[in-house]
Structure formats: C-alpha cells, structure tokens
Structure 1
Amino acid sequence: MTTGPTPPTTPPETTIRSQDWYATDLSGRHYSRHAFIDVDLTESTGRGAVFDQCTFRGVRFNVSRHSGSAFTNCTFSHCVFFDTHFSDCKLTGSLFEQCSFSLFEVTGGDWSFVGLPGADLRRASLTGVRMREADFTGARLEEATLTDVDLSGAQLHSANFIRCDLQGSDLSSLDPLTVQLGQATISLEQAAVLMTAMGVNVV
C-alpha cells in the first residue's frame, strides 16, 4: 500500500531567507535540513548538488537547470517552476504543495514516492523518469508528455490526462474509470493493459 512521500519531520537547522541567488552555480554544494524562504534561484544551475530534508517556501526556480543533483525528502511549498529543467536528478520522497509549473521539464532520474497531489502540470514534459508510487491524485496533466515513465504503484485517482502523450509509460496502476483520458495517446499494448483493468478479455 502506498503511503506517499515523507517530508522532513524535524525542524531545519539553518534558515536562508530572502536571498538573491540569481544565476548562482550550485554544483557540488551539500545542504541538509536547511529552510530556504523566499530565495530567488532564477537562472541558477547545478550539477551534483545535494539537498536532503530541506524546505523550500516561496522559492523561485525560474529558468534554472539542475543535472545529476538530489533533492531527497524535501518539501516545496508555493514555489515557482517556470521553464525549469531537471535532468537525471533524484527527488525521492519529496512533496510539492501549491507550486506552479510552466514549461516544466524532467528528463531521466528517480522521482519515486514524490507527492504531486493536485499539481497543475499542463503541458509539462516528463520523459524516462522513474516515478514509482508517486502521488498524482487530482493532478492536471492535460496536453502533457509522460513518455517512458515508470508509474508502477502510482496514485492516479481523479488525474486528468486529456490529450496527454503516455506512450511507453507503465500504466498498470491506472484505472481508466477514475481518470480522464480523452484523446490521450497510448500504444496498442497500453490499450490492452487498460482494457484488462476494466475487466475486458483481450484476445
């Protein structure tokens, strides 16, 4: 049974508040149990950075690029992800609350157990990402791209996949009776999986 992500349960040891980190290179930095409040990370970059059990509140990640970095067991609250790219990053166990996503892109990496309930991910691009047991309950994914994504064990109830490209993704946890799939793009193999979930014998 999926229990969802586990955000930090201990208070942060250090708080960084209202700092201008515009275009900062975060490569190789390591933060544990830090709280980032109203920090501007616009156009920041980072390769191999590590954030563990950190809290991000009101942080602007606009036009930032993160590669091979880790944001594990973190909480993102009221953050802005405009034209933000994550490549081969690890975000296991992290939770997103009331964040905004525009031109959002994730390529590769491990986002298992991530919480994105109710997230507005319209037109987002998620490709080749491991998202096992992720929580997409009530998420909006209209016209999004979710190709070759491992969604095994994911919570997808009430999610909106209208006109979403789902080709190559694991849809074994998707109940077509509890989501919106109008005009979504899937393969014949995926269609057979969905039909089986509906109790139809595919021969």
Structure 2
Amino acid sequence: MTTELTTITDQILDRNAVLLLANKGEPVTLIGCELDEVDLSDMILNGWVFDQCLFRKAKFVSARLEGAQFISCKGPHADFTSADLVESRFTGCDFNNSRFRGATVSQAQFRRCKLTGANFNDAKALDVMFEETRLNDAKLRNFAFNKQTLKSLDMTNSELQRCDFRGVVFEDCSLRDAILTDARFEGADLRGTDIGGVRLEDARRFKGATISRAQAAELLSELGLHVR
C-alpha cells in the first residue's frame, strides 16, 4: 500500500506550520506558498518540493535539504548558510543576494536561475552544475568547476579568487571584470567566454588555457601592444 504524499497549495506558512509538516518525517510538496521571512533553520526538509513559493529573507541556516527541489521560486536575500543541499535542484529560481556560505552543495544543480550577488564562499561544492544562470557580482571564492562544461553563465564582476577552472570548457559565458586572483585555468578552453576587463595580473592565470586570436589581441592591448 502506497502512502499519499502531502501537498500544500497557496498557503501562507510560518515556522510552526512547517515544523508540524516536517515532524511527519516524509517529504512534502508546497505549491504557491508564501514563506517570506520565515525561519526554517535546523529543520529536516530532505526531499521536499517547493514549487512557485516565496522565500524573501527566509532562513534555512543549517537546514537539511538533501534532494530538495526548488522550482520557479523567488527568495531574494534568503539565507542557506551551512545548509545541507546535497543533490538539490534549483530550476528557474530567483535567489539574488542570497547566502550559501559554508553550505554543502555537492552534486546540486542550478538551471536558469538568477543568483546575482549570491555568496557561495566556503561552500562545499563537489560536482555542482550551473547552467544558463546569472552569477554576476556573486562571491565564489575557492569554488571548484574543474573539468566541467559551463553553459551560459554570467560571472561578470564576480569574486572568483582561488577558483579551480582547470579543464573547463566555457560556452557563451562571461568573466568580464571578474576577480581571478590565484584562480587556475590550466587546460581550460576560454574561447566561449568574455574575458574583457581582465587585469594584467589576472591574465597570467590563463597560462595553459586556450583562447582565441581576438581574446589574445584584447589581452595584449592592455599592454599597449597591437596584433596585426
């Protein structure tokens, strides 16, 4: 006999309401629910599905969200600090200026998301996938992207210090004006990314990477040299 999973639709929920659902010990689906500024810290929400929900300034600090799905949700300034987001899925979401600092996002996926200004510093990030996502002005220090194919990522003005881009293939991406101090690009293919505004000291990080003639000319122009 199969157990029917709980689905809650179009409700305004507070911490106590979510806690009652969580205490059942089974995944719950929330559709069109509002949880703005709700504190969900330390809750066990593994496998939950959040569809078209609102999370403005909501707190998920140290929450357990393994395998959770966020679909078309909006959560500007949400706080996922130290949350467990292993194998979670974010699809078509807007979590601009949210905090994922120290979160475990291994094998998580972010597709068609807006993460402008998001803070992923010190996140545990093995095999994370970003696709068609805005990460401009984001903080991604120490992030590992190695050997991935990155598609349609906007990392303009992002903080990418000590990031690992070794073996990465960039397709329709932007690193314009990004901070690349101590980032690694050995074996990377940068021909599909905008590297405009890269500082001379950061251009040295591209040693061992593949760039186009146009990109080479752009880098050399920073030295006052012209390619003919």
Q: TM-score, normalised by structure 1?
A: 0.78
Residue 62 of structure 1 aligns to a residue whose secondary structure is: coil
Give 1:194 shift: 5.2
Corresponding residue of 1:144: 143
* Matching residue of 2:73: 74
State the one-letter code of the partner of 1:196: S
CA spacing shift, 1:113–1:148, aligned 2, 3 Å: farther
Per the alignment, residue 14 of structure 1 pairs with 11
* 1:155 aligned onto 2:157: no
Q: Aligned equivalents of 1:67 and 1:58: distance in 2?
A: 21
Alpha-carbon separation, structure 2, partners of 1:42 and 1:197: 50
Partner Cα separation in structure 2 for residue 158 and residue 87 of structure 1: 27
Please give the per-residue CA displacement for 1:76-130, whole angstroms capped at 9, x wherever unaligned: 1232222112111211111113323321221113311111112222222333222
Check if 1:59 corresponds to 2:58. yes
- Please point out which of 208, 212, 215 is paired with 1:199: 215
Instruction: Determine the C-alpha separation between the residues in 2 that align with 1:86 and 1:13.
Output: 25
Task: Report how many residues are paired.
Answer: 190
Structure number with larger C-alpha Rg: 2
The code of the aligned residue for 1:13 comes to: D
Structure 2 residue ranges without an equivalent (≥5): 1-8, 190-205, 218-228
Q: Secondary structure at the match of 2:211?
A: helix
- Judging changes above 3 Å, is the alpha-carbon distance between structure 1 residues 170 and 32 closer, same or farther for their aligned structure 2 residues? farther
Q: Distance in 1 between matches of 2:36 and 2:16?
A: 8
AA paired with 2:215? G
Residue 141 of structure 2 aligns to a residue whose secondary structure is coil
What is the identity, as a one-letter code, of the residue corresponding to 2:64? Answer: R
SS in 1 for 2:136: coil
Name stretches of at least 5 consecutive residues in structure 1 with no aligned partner: 1-11
TM-score between the two structures when normalised by the length of structure 2: 0.71
Task: State which drifts further: 122-131 or 191-200.
Answer: 191-200
Residues 198 and 35 of structure 1: is their aligned pair in 2 closer, same or farther, counting only changes over 3 Å?
A: farther
Instruction: Please give the alpha-carbon distance, in whole angstroms, between the structure 2 residues aligned to 1:40 and 1:197.
Output: 51
Q: Judging changes above 3 Å, is the alpha-carbon distance between structure 1 residues 151 and 80 closer, same or farther for their aligned structure 2 residues?
A: same
